[in-house]
Chains A and B, each alone.
Chain A
Amino acid sequence: MNWRLLGERAIETLIRVCGVSAIVFVFGIFVFVLKEGWEFLTHRLDLVQFFTSIEWRPTSPNDPTYGALALLAGTAAVTAVAMAIAVPFGLGTAVFVSEFCRPRTKEALKIVIELLAAIPSVVWGFIGITLMNVTVIAVTGAPVGVNVLNSGVILALMSMPIIVSIGEDALKAVPDHFREAAESLGATRWQVVYKVLFPAAKNGLLAAVLLGVGRAVGETMAVLMATGHSIRMVFDSEPPVLHVLSPARTLTATIAAELGEAPKGSDHYQALFVIGLLLFAITFAINLAADLIVRGIRKE
Chain B
Amino acid sequence: MTTEPNGPTDQYSIETKDLCLWYGDFQALIQVRVRIRQGIITSLIGPSGCGKTTLLRCFNRVNERYGNVTTTGDVRVLGKNIYDEDVSLPELRKAVGMVFQRPNPLPISIYENVAFQLKVHAEPGSLSKRERDQAVESALKEVLLWDAVKDSLHKKATGLQLEEQQKLCIARLLPLKPQVILMDEPCSALDARGTEAIEDLMSVLRERYTIVIVTHNMAQARRASDECIYMLLGRIVEHGPTLDVFLRPNHKDTENYVEGRYG
Within 8 A of A (CB), among B153-181: 169, 172-173
State whether A186 touches B100 (Cβ < 8 A): no
Say which one of A79-87, A154-162, A193-201 lies at the interface with B. A193-201
Give A199 to B91 CA distance when docked, in angstroms: 24
Partner of A182, one of B60, B92, B116, B173: B116
Q: Mark B82-107, 1 if CB is under 8 A from A, else 0.
A: 00000001111110011010101111
Interface size on A, residues (CB 8 A): 18
State whether A185 touches B107 (Cβ < 8 A): no
Residues of A contacting B169 with CB < 8 Å? 181
Q: Is B119 on the interface with A (CB-CB < 8 A)?
A: yes
Within 8 A of B (CB), among A150-191: 174, 177-188, 191
State whether A178 touches B106 (Cβ < 8 A): yes
State whether A195 touches B100 (Cβ < 8 A): no
Partner of A195, one of B60, B92, B102, B120: B120
State whether A187 touches B90 (Cβ < 8 A): yes
State whether B119 touches A186 (Cβ < 8 A): no
Give A179 to B98 CA distance when docked, in angstroms: 13
Cross-chain pairs A/B with CB under 8 angstroms, 21 sampled: A177-B100, A178-B107, A180-B62, A180-B104, A181-B100, A181-B104, A184-B97, A184-B98, A185-B173, A186-B89, A186-B90, A186-B91, A186-B92, A186-B120, A187-B116, A188-B90, A195-B108, A196-B106, A196-B108, A199-B108, A200-B106
Q: 7 closest pairs, A vs B, by CB? A: A186-B93, A186-B90, A181-B104, A177-B104, A184-B98, A200-B107, A186-B94
Known: A184-B97, A185-B93, A186-B90. 9 other contacts (CB 8 A): A177-B102, A184-B60, A184-B93, A185-B120, A186-B89, A188-B90, A191-B120, A195-B116, A200-B106
